[in-house]
């Protein structure tokens, strides 16, 4: 295992060993290479004339660009358009988003890290599959589920999908069926992943408190 990945796993284990247990083999092996990040930081300090470390060129006014391209974006500053975006998203956006999640759902006050920007939901789900599920792990879903889960988690990721009845006889979400399926699936290798997708696709249903 790469030394940086090992170091990250040690940090996670210290903060919360359960989270380390949740990671897939791939999730445990991932790391952010230090090279380019370190070089960019160094250039920020020492490159006073041009900084071309990350594939863009800057001069004293900021990023260099073609006027013909900038014409399409005149309501935005060049510094917000032309440089590479950080791979996890802009820090100020991530911070604001975290604040919004905390405001909208105060019960999450147990603490969570800065959200990561993804290319829409499907990309986020694929990252979850890669980071948290090994081939053969079980994904628990209601029997009414968005079809692309099969492609993302099962066809690509090799997960086993276990489904439970979506609605009980009263027309509410079948919580008992969910719990039974979780208990049953947890017997297989001691680990399950559950997606709670609300509003549910295809039914549009969202559970109520009672
Ligand atoms: C439950 C569910 N998840 C994900 C998606 C896809 O979202 P995105 O286009 O943001 O990847 C859809 C789209 O219909 C959906 O219904």
Q: Which domain holds residue 102?
A: 87-115
CA 154 and chain centroid, separation: 18
- Same domain, yes or no: 98 and 150: no
If you measure from the C-alpha of residue 197 to the centroid of ligand 1, how many angstroms do you get, rounded to a whole number?
A: 10
If you measure from the C-alpha of residue 94 to the centroid of ligand 1, how many angstroms do you get, rounded to a whole number?
A: 21
Evaluate: CB of 203 within 6 angstroms of ligand 1.
no
d(CA 68, CA 63): 15
> What is the domain count for the chain?
3
Say if residues 189 and 137 touch (Cβ distance below 8 Å). yes
Evaluate: CB of 121 within 6 angstroms of ligand 1.
yes
Q: What is the 3-state secondary structure (H, E, C) of 103-172?
A: HHCHHHCCCCCCCCCCCHHHHHHHHHHHHHCCCCCEEEEECCCCCHHHHHHHHHCCCEEEEECCECCCCC
| Tens digits of pLDDT across the chain (210 residues) | 999 999 999 999 999 999 999 999 999 999 988 777 667 777 778 888 877 777 778 888 889 999 999 999 878 999 888 887 777 888 889 999 999 999 998 888 767 889 999 999 999 999 999 999 999 999 999 999 999 999 999 999 999 999 999 999 999 999 999 999 999 999 998 999 999 999 999 999 998 876
- Same domain, yes or no: 193 and 207: yes
Residue 50 domain flag:
yes
- Same domain, yes or no: 100 and 54: no
If you measure from the C-alpha of residue 71 to the centroid of ligand 1, how many angstroms do you get, rounded to a whole number?
A: 33
**pTM, two decimal places:** 0.82
pLDDT at 32: 82
Evaluate: CB of 53 within 6 angstroms of ligand 1.
no
Residue 197 domain flag:
yes
Between strands 138-142 and 160-164, the pairing is parallel
52: tokens are: 């071309």
Q: Which residues contact 48 (CB under 8 A, 6 or more apart)?
A: none
- Same domain, yes or no: 93 and 63: no
- Same domain, yes or no: 208 and 173: yes
Of ligand 1's listed atoms, the one at least distance from the Cα of 145 is 1
Beta-bridged to residue 138, according to DSSP, are 160, 192
Say if residues 143 and 149 touch (Cβ distance below 8 Å). no
């Amino acid at each position: 295992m790469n030394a940086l990945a090992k170091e990250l796993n040690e940090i996670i284990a210290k903060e919360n060993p359960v989270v380390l247990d949740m990671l897939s083999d791939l999730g445990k092996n991932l790391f952010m290479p230090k090279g380019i990040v370190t070089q960019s930081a160094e250039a920020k300090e020492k490159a006073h004339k041009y900084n071309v470390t990350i594939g863009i060129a800057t001069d004293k006014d900021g990023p260099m660009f073609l006027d013909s391209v900038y014409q399409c974006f005149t309501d935005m500053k060049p510094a917000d358009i032309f440089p590479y975006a950080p791979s996890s998203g802009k820090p100020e956006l991530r911070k604001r988003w975290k604040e919004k999640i905390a405001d909208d759902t105060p019960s999450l006050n147990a603490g969570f890290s800065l959200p990561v920007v993804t290319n829409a939901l499907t990309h986020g789900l694929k990252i979850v599959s890669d980071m948290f599920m090994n081939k053969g792990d079980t994904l628990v879903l209601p029997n009414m589920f968005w079809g692309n889960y099969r492609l993302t988690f099962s066809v690509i990721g090799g997960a086993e999908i276990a489904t439970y009845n979506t609605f009980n006889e009263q027309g509410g979400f079948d919580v008992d069926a969910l719990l039974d399926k979780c208990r049953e699936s947890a017997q297989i290798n001691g680990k399950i992943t559950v997606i709670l997708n609300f509003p549910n696709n295809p039914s549009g249903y969202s559970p109520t408190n009672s």
